[in-house]
């Protein structure tokens, strides 16, 4: 019994760590494909089409009896999510990553928890009571995470040598890139991050009225593929960008579609129903650390002192934020019990009144009649 409870408590954490590892692989392979000439417009279309094709059979089978009825408001929300994530977020991310690097693009995405936290507070999806430690931890964790991300962006520092980097030539990093392209890429990544944060908020809200994670993931990928396909046809008017062979471009489309769209939307939806959108985005800094290591090994990107120090600060902020969200989750049952007790009290009082009303009944002793 204790083992089952421990596994149930650990599942959201393990699921999010698993997703961050998957996202790290996507960051590396997508940057490698984009810098070899692959069109990001076409990549977005193929990515979401693959995701929809893979997830749809599971949605049709497992949710055939539990799928809610589609309504116009839900359909409009799905269309909006298809625009926010597959079209805007993914296209602007790919453009920003192409102008910067895999490790930098994953590093700047560390502002995602802070953006989601602020948006959730504005929309009253996240409650803050500054007198409580868990709220203080969430605020401090968000601020520390932002500071760490800013340090990684603004301070480069000397490159750090590791065992796998000694004696090996490195690819050009942000110090030797065209500075104007680098700045434009940074703003593209920030806008992409904002769209992703808005997508998380809207997905969390939609799941309350359409609690079918697999079906919702399929519909988001389908609408995203349709909208991004229309955009790609306008931007890429020749057939050449659409032709991909059995190389890294095909692997990038299949991997990112299955792992980072299909599986990710489903797992995020499951965790979000239980813990909320802020908890889901709080694990994003882990992706930066994994991507920096993978980028250093596979793409020969430099790991600088600024990024290393920023990573340490971000991990500290991440701990505070997750600790505060964990305390929120533990406090919910007791708060629910208190509310239920408050609702039950009037009923108990009524029952007491009914019981004590027996005391006011007058008992008449009837004497038996005498027969002659």
In 3D space, the residue among 204, 288, 244, 310 whose CA is nearest the CA of residue 45 turns out to be 244
Looking at residue 46, its pLDDT comes to 93
Within a domain: 99: yes
Within a domain: 237: yes
Per residue in 208-267, pLDDT (tens digit) is 899 888 899 999 999 999 999 999 999 988 888 888 878 888 898 999 888 888 888 888
Looking at residue 342, its pLDDT comes to 41
Looking at residue 355, its pLDDT comes to 45
In 3D space, the residue among 307, 6, 276 whose CA is nearest the CA of residue 148 turns out to be 307
Looking at residue 164, its pLDDT comes to 59
Within a domain: 367: no
Within a domain: 134: yes
Looking at residue 225, its pLDDT comes to 94
Looking at residue 169, its pLDDT comes to 56
Binned average pLDDT, 10 residues per bin, the chain of 372 residues: 75 86 84 85 92 91 89 94 92 87 75 79 79 84 82 78 60 52 85 90 90 91 94 89 84 89 84 78 75 73 77 80 73 50 43 45 48 44
Within a domain: 256: yes
Within a domain: 6: no
Within a domain: 341: yes
Looking at residue 83, its pLDDT comes to 94
Looking at residue 338, its pLDDT comes to 44
> Range of 119's domain?
15-345
Query: How many domains are contained in the chain?
Result: 1
Within a domain: 205: yes
């Amino acid at each position: 019994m204790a083992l089952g409870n421990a596994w149930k408590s650990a599942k959201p954490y393990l699921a999010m760590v698993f997703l961050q590892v998957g996202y790290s692989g996507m960051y590396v392979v997508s940057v490698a494909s984009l810098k070899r000439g692959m069109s990001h417009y076409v990549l977005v279309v193929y990515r979401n089409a693959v995701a929809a094709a893979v997830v749809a059979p599971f949605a049709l089978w497992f949710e055939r009896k539990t799928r809610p009825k589609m309504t116009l408001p839900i359909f409009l929300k799905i269309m909006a999510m298809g625009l926010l994530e597959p079209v805007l977020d993914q296209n602007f991310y790919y453009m920003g990553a192409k102008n910067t690097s895999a490790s930098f693009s994953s590093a700047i995405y560390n502002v995602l928890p802070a953006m989601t936290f602020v948006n959730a507070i504005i929309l009253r999806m996240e409650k803050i009571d500054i007198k409580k430690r868990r709220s203080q931890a969430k605020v401090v964790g968000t601020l520390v995470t932002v500071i760490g991300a800013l340090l990684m962006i603004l301070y480069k520092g000397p490159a750090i040598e590791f065992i796998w980097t000694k004696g090996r030539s490195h690819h050009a990093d942000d110090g030797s890139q065209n500075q104007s392209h680098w700045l434009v890429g940074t703003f593209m990544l920030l806008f992409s991050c904002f769209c992703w944060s808005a997508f998380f908020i809207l997905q969390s809200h939609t799941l309350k009225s359409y609690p079918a994670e697999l079906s919702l993931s399929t519909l988001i990928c389908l609408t995203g593929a349709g909208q991004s396909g229309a955009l790609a046809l306008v931007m890429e008017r020749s057939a050449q960008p659409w032709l991909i062979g059995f190389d890294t471009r095909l692997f990038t489309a299949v991997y990112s579609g299955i792992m980072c769209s299909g599986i990710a939307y489903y797992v995020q939806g499951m965790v979000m129903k239980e813990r909320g959108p802020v908890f889901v985005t709080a694990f994003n800094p882990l992706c930066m650390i994994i991507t920096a290591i993978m980028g250093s090994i596979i793409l020969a990107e430099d790991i600088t002192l600024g990024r290393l120090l920023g990573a340490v600060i971000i991990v500290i902020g991440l701990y505070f934020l997750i600790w505060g969200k964990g305390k929120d989750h533990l406090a919910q049952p007791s708060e629910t019990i208190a509310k239920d007790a408050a609702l039950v009290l009037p009923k108990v009082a009524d029952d007491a009144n009914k019981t004590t009303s027996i005391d006011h009944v007058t008992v008449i002793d009837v004497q038996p009649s005498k027969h002659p």
